[in-house]
Amino acid sequence: MAPVASKLYTDDVSLVVLLLDTNPYFWTSSSPSSSLSFSHFLSHVLSFVNSILLLNQLNQVVIIATGHNTCGYIFDSSLSSVSSSISSNQSSDNATMPSFCSDVMKNLEEFVTKDESLSSVDVVHGVDSSLLSGSLSMALCYIQRVFRSGPLHPQPRILCLHGSPDGPEQYVAVMNAIFSAQRSMVPIDSCVIGGQHSAFLQQASYITGGVYLKPQQLEGLFQYLSTVFATDLHSRNFIQLPKPVGVDFRASCFCHKNTIDMGYICSVCLSIFCMHHKKCSTCGSLYGRAQSDASSTSGQKRKEPS
């Protein structure tokens, strides 16, 4: 029997889905990462996107903006002529880059305006989280659509450029996205630009086999992106990539959405709670004495007719 043909173009052709944190509460806060302004951050990102497209004419880049209230696509190289123009035009820096950057900036400006219009309550204390679960879901949906689009496709991976703190209320949705990416064999790379590590992204990179990195010098962000995250998945087998010192495996409880060190787990649906409950709020299962009382009561009812 003839072997089944691979659905990949080649080992070095990549589909990079870039999740861009545009949370205004993070970028306007007085965090340790304030030395990197949003405009400088975008210049690093656009240069990185251009380098990915220059590495291989079949490479594809998709940018998804992760806001405070919503998420949205702001760039898709498969819908533009950027990649083909760069490979055929010698003066790509002068001809194609201005239009490429202007398209991204225009879509990003429209997205930020829409995201701010959806804000009903201003954040007073600290920095509120971004909608990471939504952007991960959109990235996985796009990748699944690419899988089903034809017999050939590039090798997909997700890169999260994230700075906002984790939102414990998104724990279930984020973990579902992580396990979906693991099942689809889609690595999730993480580049954290905030002041603190992200437990969500640490778990995402660890579970899916991606790379987690928190740059020490944000002024050289492009160097980190180009040397670590521009490498295709096949070439990663031959180079030494940075490894995280540790992974925060703490979960968030389903009742109060707080990050906990120890808790109670439902043996039926695996829901996590920070305190003991008589009944699971997720699946309705009864625990401990309540369950035994219920079983004894049902047993007495069955004995009454006899």
Report the pLDDT value the prediction gives residue 170, as an integer from 0 to 100: 87
Which pair of tokens denotes residue 206? 């660890």
| Residue 192: pLDDT over 90 | yes
Q: What is the pTM of this model?
A: 0.79
257-291: pLDDT as tens digits: 677 778 777 777 767 777 777 888 777 788 765 44
Neighbours of 276 (CB within 10 A): 9
Q: Name the percent of the chain lying above pLDDT 70.
A: 78
Separation CA 139–CA 186 (nearest Å)? 10
AA identity, residue 132 = L
Residue at 70: amino acid letter: T
Q: What is the residue extent of each domain of the chain?
A: 14-248, 252-303
Asked if 44 and 38 touch (Cβ cutoff 8 Å), the reply is no
Q: What is the pLDDT of residue 124?
A: 42
Per-residue pLDDT at 82 exceeds 60:
no
- Judged against a pLDDT cut of 50, whether residue 45 lies above it is answered with yes
Q: What six digits make up the tokens of 133? A: 């679960």
Exposed e or buried b for every residue in 231-262, given b needs 16+ CB within 10 A?
A: bbbeebeeeeeeebeeebeebbbbbeeeebee
Which residue, 141, 171, 146, 134, is CA-closest to 250? Answer: 171
Q: What is the CATH number of domain 14-248?
A: 3.40.50.410
Q: Is the pLDDT of residue 12 over 60?
A: yes
3-state helix, strand, coil in the chain (%, to 5): 45, 15, 40
How confident is the model over 148-165, as pLDDT tens digits?
887 788 999 999 999 998
Is the pLDDT score of 255 beyond 80? Answer: no
Is residue 16 within 8 Å of 60, Cβ to Cβ?
yes
DSSP 13: -
